[in-house]
Amino acid sequence: MTRYEDFLAAKANVGADSGFEPVFMPPALFDFQVSLVEWACRKGRAAIFADCGLGKTPMQLAWAENVARVTSRPVLVLTPLAVASQTVREGEKFGVECARSSDGSMPAARIVLTNYERLDKFDPCAFSGVVCDESSILKSFDGATRNAITSFMRKVPYRLLCTATAAPNDYLELGTSSEALGYLGHMDMLNRFFVNDSQNSGTRRQYGEAPKWRLKGHSSRPFWRWVASWARACRKPSDLGFDDGRFVLPPLTERQHLVEPDAAPPGMLFALPAGSLDEQRAERKRTVRERCEKVAALVNGTGQPALVWCHLNEEGDLLESLIQDAVQVSGSDSDEKKEERFLAFSSGKARVLVTKPKIGAWGLNWQHCSHVTYFTSHSFEQYYQAVRRCWRFGQTRPVVVDTVYTEGERRVVDNLARKAEAASLMFSSLVAEMSNAIAIEKTRPAAVTVEVLSWIR
């Protein structure tokens, strides 16, 4: 390269490798999982965006074990509530010893598991590595909690993020991951690659969303090359050049059920789609009984497991009373009670589980269940994760998802469909651009750096 190209390369915000060659690999890992673990170890600070059921738990445990062996220091794995015990069982299966801690104590195992909510009890200086399981949950925390997690990670040399939905329908959410790994900060990413699209801000405010940022016209390829420098994404093994083998999903049937309450909203002759968020909340509260009775009719009498998602406390309590053999996990339950009831559903002791997506939609595996019901909401990620607890690799039966809504919630349904389409297009673009970047990195690594930065000239 010329001196000018050397200067540009030195200014690149492309994630340089700061890791090591792996020294351990569980023999039960599939070939694409081995490839991802090897890449993440060499990278040192990396993200694996792999779809539900592709084995993120064994991959992150293998990465953590490598870090612990190379550094002779423990690794901390942060998980959503109730996922830690599931991870311990996975560790036993793959020959990786790990132990839970909820009070900041240090067990003898090299890998320590705790819930995100318990992070304040741990000292980052005690660890050589940290894993954020279901890392997309970071953006769900308030600013202070998210900043505390990011600050903790900055003090640990090796970092790994694992999730299926890093940016479910918005590129901007990739900035949260980049910042946690120590690459470009969220605002730095926006200023480098994006422009504020004020023309669409009115439409997004209608749905309670922030103004949209869009990629600059000349920044699309540099942006995806930059993401590919610190992340790998796949929906199936063939996205990484491997055979899909057993990783083929069974059919998914999504059914919509329009519930028509007997009475129209106050002051109206008939129901109309609610416009503002306040109107949508009022519609949801007004129709609690009708919607819950519809879900109960869909779930009762089948004799089969069912996963019932709700959003309001009133909905959860009523569903639990209307549905046979149902247990509810609510926000007011203690952590111990939550885990006990999640386990009861996982083991088949409880036929039906009623809970909210913000409580149980991340990280848990329920392939024994093939029937899901859902009250619609604006959050595509919540819907995606809620469905993917059951419709994931390892599921052997067709999965049915019943969405129940009223005429007043029609705009919410339409908005969710819009987000689903955007998410599909975005992930397809992400995988395609990453595959292209990976191929170029393997053949012409120096040329990639120059091409990534050529738009600056």
Q: What's the CATH code of the domain at 375?
A: 3.40.50.300
Q: Is the same domain home to 263 and 308?
A: yes
Q: What is the mean pLDDT of the segment spanning 194-212?
A: 58
- pLDDT of 423 reads 79
Q: What is the mean pLDDT of the segment spanning 345-368?
A: 92
Q: How confident is the model at residue 453 (pLDDT cuts 50, 70, 90)?
A: very low
CA dihedral 21, 24, 27, 33 (to 10 degrees): -40
Is 312 within the bounds of a domain?
yes
CA dist 153 and 148 (Å) reads: 9
Angle of helix 220-228 relative to helix 445-453, nearest 10 degrees? 140
Q: Is the same domain home to 173 and 306?
A: no
Q: Give how far Cα 395 sits from Cα of 175, 328, 361, 403, Å.
A: 32, 23, 17, 20
CA dist 320 and 302 (Å) reads: 16
Q: Is the same domain home to 134 and 278?
A: no
The model's pLDDT over 106-117, given as tens digits with 9 standing for 90+, comes to 998 999 999 888
What is the tally of helices (H) and strands (E) in the chain?
17, 15
Q: What is the mean pLDDT of the segment spanning 389-414?
A: 92
Quick check: 22 pLDDT over 90? yes
Q: How confident is the model at residue 370 (pLDDT cuts 50, 70, 90)?
A: very high
- pLDDT of 11 reads 46
CB neighbours (10 Å) of residue 187? Answer: 10
Point out the least confidently predicted range of 59-68, 93-102, 291-300.
Answer: 93-102
Q: Is the same domain home to 70 and 129?
A: yes
Q: Is the same domain home to 184 and 38?
A: yes
Q: Is the same domain home to 260 and 209?
A: no
- pLDDT of 197 reads 72
Least Cα distance to 374 among 405, 350, 399 occurs for: 405
Q: Is the same domain home to 180 and 96?
A: yes
Burial of residue 272, with CB atoms counted within 10 A of its CB: 0-12 exposed, 13-18 middle, 19 or more buried: middle
The model's pTM: 0.80
SS3 102: coil
Mean pLDDT of the chain: 84
Q: Is the same domain home to 195 and 314?
A: no
Q: Is the same domain home to 219 and 339?
A: no
Q: How confident is the model at residue 386 (pLDDT cuts 50, 70, 90)?
A: very high
- Angle 222-226-228 from CA coordinates, rounded to 5°: 120
| Amino acid identity for residue 322 in this structure | L
Phi, then psi, of 353 in degrees rounded to 5? -110, 130
- pLDDT of 258 reads 94
The token pair that represents 111 in the structure block: 């890998």
Asked if residues 435 and 242 have their Cβ atoms less than 8 Å apart, the reply is no
- pLDDT of 85 reads 82
Residue that finishes a domain, picked among 214, 246, 278 = 246
Is 452 within the bounds of a domain?
no
Least Cα distance to 181 among 55, 44, 78 occurs for: 44
Name the strand (E) or helix (H) holding 306: strand 306-309
Q: How confident is the model at residue 408 (pLDDT cuts 50, 70, 90)?
A: confident
Q: Is the same domain home to 50 and 181?
A: yes
CA dist 291 and 285 (Å) reads: 10
- Residue indicated by tokens 């819009």: 418
Is 307 within the bounds of a domain?
yes
Quick check: 202 pLDDT over 60? no
Which residue range(s) make up the domain with 142?
3-246
Least Cα distance to 176 among 186, 168, 161 occurs for: 186
CA dist 192 and 223 (Å) reads: 9
Q: What CATH number does the domain containing 93 carry?
A: 3.40.50.10810
The token pair that represents 334 in the structure block: 């203690």
Specify the DSSP class assigned to residue 332. T
CA dihedral 276, 279, 280, 281 (to 10 degrees): 120
Is 207 within the bounds of a domain?
yes
Is 311 within the bounds of a domain?
yes
Q: What is the count of structural domains for the chain?
A: 2
Q: How confident is the model at residue 364 (pLDDT cuts 50, 70, 90)?
A: confident
Q: Is the same domain home to 260 and 314?
A: yes
Most confident of 32-36, 203-207, 271-275: 32-36
| Amino acid identity for residue 346 in this structure | S
**HSE on the CB side for 18, CA within 13 Å?**
17
